[in-house]
Homo-oligomer: A and B are copies of this chain.
Amino acid sequence: MKRSTAILILCVTCAVSGPAAQVKKNTPLVIKEQGSFFVGGENKTITQPGPGANPAQTGEITVNQMYVQYQIPVKGSQHVPVVMVHGCCLSSKTWETTPDGRMGWDEYFVRRDRSVYLADQVSRARSGFDPTGFVDVRQGKTPPDKMPGILDASHQVAWTVFRFGPRYGETFPDGQFPIEAVDELYKQMIPDLNSTLPNPNPTWKQMAALATRLRGAVLMGHSESGFFPEEAALIDPSGVRGIISIEMPCRAVTPEQLATLARIPSLFVFGDHLGDVSGGPANWQQSFNSCNTLVDQLKKAGGDATMMHLPAMGIKGNSHMLMQDKNSDQIAELVIGWIEQHVETRNRGTR
């Protein structure tokens, strides 16, 4: 066998199977430090009906804070921390134990010696939300049609938007999502109250502040939050060492914004069957195209931008929920490999 053929075979194998998972899952997990905290938050004055016949009471509540849960492994200081932010109608549960009970990316990355910070988006889950828009309607201060909309994706919508198959109840033959456990995914899906948020979305500012607080972090977003790392960097790039954007539309950026983003290594990840689902509120092929455009723009501006389109690498059948797909470990390794090569090598000696 000629050497070039051997290399070719090696590379094809590498592309199809991806890097081997490097994590021993049945050994104890050793944590240097863990906990939770909030980033940001402001006081807001509210007037509420008193209990019973008591007069209305004016007081302060805290809004726009972002809840963050973290684990720092023993060797965490040798690597750049990773902040993971979930998508629409979901919480940080996205990154934890998969619907079929396997290890989530949160622990996988920790076992690969990365400090992991899971943030619940502002207005979701443990971050809480500003109830004023609802309370005002109940009290007759605002008409019902001015009430904030609640986005609550049904099982039917999720099935196609998350690309489990071409239509509800049908799967792709090579689909990687653990469809036998789809009911466990449905339980993760919770009402999305982002319509209660001010503009710009406070989650962006809090993500930027978190990256600064960590003295540098890779920001990772998915779907609704896929472009949040970029938005965070455009508010304050100083702590953003790398951007990982998973499956979302990339918006147009100004030349000035492009110059800022081009200074940060960026990875874009897309799964399979982007054009194989018809109808529904998402158009993944269009999203993919928009991010390819941004990758080109970033490269032309001197940036280090990578499009990781999994099927083009021989990795087939990944859904929109690729961090929960059956080959989630494999994709985690690809992402960690990118961090090593594009963020940590670049930053070595400067941290």
- Partner-B contacts on A (CB < 8 A): 28-32, 34-38, 41, 43, 46, 48, 51, 57, 59-62, 65, 67, 69, 74, 91-93, 96-97, 101, 103-104, 107, 120, 125-129, 131, 134-135, 137-138, 140, 144-145, 147, 149-150, 152-157, 183-184, 186-191, 281
Contact = CB atoms under 8 A, between A and B. Distances in A.
A128 B186 CA distance: 11
Given A37-B184, A62-B187, A67-B93, 20 more contacts: A34-B107, A35-B101, A57-B156, A59-B154, A59-B156, A60-B154, A61-B186, A61-B189, A62-B183, A69-B96, A91-B126, A120-B126, A128-B189, A128-B191, A131-B191, A134-B147, A134-B150, A138-B144, A140-B144, A140-B145
Nearest to A150: B131
Contact of A65 (B48, B59, B156, B187): B187
B96 A35 contact: yes
Contact of A152 (B28, B61, B107): B61
Contacts of A183: 41, 62
A36 B97 contact: yes
A97 B35 contact: yes
B131 A152 contact: yes
Contacts of A103: 35
Given A36-B96, A59-B157, A74 B28 contact: yes
A155 B41 CA distance: 13
A99 to B, nearest CB: 9
A186 B154 CA distance: 33
A96 to B, nearest CB: 4
